[in-house]
Amino acid sequence: MVEKELLLKSPLLRELPPAALAEIATVCEPISVAAGQYIYKKGTAGECFFLVLSGEVELIETRDDNSTCMIGRIGEGGHFGESSLLTGQKRSLSIRAVSDVVLGRFSSAFFHDTLLADPVFHRELDKTLVNRLRFAMRDHVETIFDHSRTFLQPESADLYPFFDPETGTEAGPDELIPKSLKNVQVSIKKFTADLDPVFIIGESGTGRKSAARQIHQGSAHHEGPYGVIDLRQFEPGLLESKLFGHDPGALAFSQLREAGILEQTRGGTIVLYHAEVLEESLRQKFLSIIKKGYYYRIGGKTRLSLSVRFIFICGSGGKTEESTCFFNQERY
């Protein structure tokens, strides 16, 4: 049993009639948890509903590699544990005490038979869950917009046309076009004929990104999205998640999945700039998905069709061509 004043900290209970509040106070089981201790862990069965009477708890996400991160906190008057009780699924997050906390615990039976049966409690719980979903959706939308900032913005030097993609004519009178440029034009036209991956090797300032854009504009994907990603900006683990997306099982109140750049650029072209920095494991993954024509989000089980054209750009010099041109006859 707990004091009714403690229960009134919860927005779910403030508007209940006195008799209903008195019954809840009688049934509520107070438990104390020391700072740093877990109330429950991810993957366990959902058996109770909790109110935070004093102190603060944090929501912990644990990934497949056992790494963890704190994704939110719940203070006095907050509640947790209802998602598993409502869905019948196991806990999707771990809950840990930030400070010494006092919780009010209710059994699954009381939650379903008494609390949910009260129209006032049910209404307030619905409002809370909808607000949580709105916040989750907003975060998801902001993540999508973050993907647009992942791409490099084209510079004027990148936009030099080797040829007019609409007419297929060369840039400038034939007699003024150097032989080396004509060779580039021929190569570009060759690569626009299909959607196979392209590997461009050359020094900075030689028009590599411009050539990539021209290949895209002359290809069957010319009406689709186009993005250039500087691979030097990302740690390998983050890069893989950005590209392929992930199924983190993020929040108990959200079933949203993180769509990767490949998923959001379907029907278009992705240019991977400075491909020489790709780690061997990620190179092998690219080779595999290009051969198979499908991929999975990180931690996901849904097969996604690969409908993106890859263009890899890397610098020349030293052993670069030898070490980074991994789309050769021996490996692809």
Q: Check residue 69 and give its pLDDT.
A: 73
Supply angle C-alpha 26, 4, 82, rounded to 5.
70
For 234, half-sphere exposure in the C-beta direction (CA atoms, 13 angstrom radius) is: 22
CATH number, domain 150-324: 3.40.50.300
User: Is the model's pTM score more than 0.75?
Assistant: no
Q: What 3-state class would DSSP assign to 263? A: helix
Q: Check residue 244 and give its pLDDT.
A: 87
Strand-pair category, 309-314 with 198-201:
parallel
311: CB partners within 8 A, 6+ apart: 197, 198, 199, 200, 212, 215, 216, 269, 270, 271, 272
CATH class of the 4-143 domain in this structure: mainly beta
**pLDDT averaged over consecutive 10-residue blocks of the chain (332 residues)?**
87 91 94 92 92 90 72 85 91 89 95 94 88 65 54 52 51 51 77 89 83 90 88 79 68 50 86 89 91 86 86 69 44 36
Give the tokens for residue 236: 């390998």
Please report, for residues 157, 212, 311, the alpha-carbon distance to residue 160 in angstroms, rounded to integers and kept in the order given: 6, 11, 18
Which long-range contacts link 60-66 to residues 24+ away (Cβ below 8 Å)? 60/93, 60/94, 60/95, 60/96, 61/93, 61/94, 61/248, 61/249, 61/250, 62/94, 63/248, 63/299, 64/299
Q: Check residue 332 and give its pLDDT.
A: 36
Alpha helix positions (H), 245-328? 261-264, 280-292, 320-324
Instruction: Confirm whether 4-143 and 150-324 share one CATH topology.
Output: no
Q: Provide the CA 262 distance to its chain's centre, in angstroms.
A: 11
Q: What is the largest CA-CA distance in the chain?
A: 95
Please give the helix or strand (H or E) that residue 6 lies within, else none. Answer: helix 4-7
Q: Where are the domains of the chain?
A: 4-143, 150-324
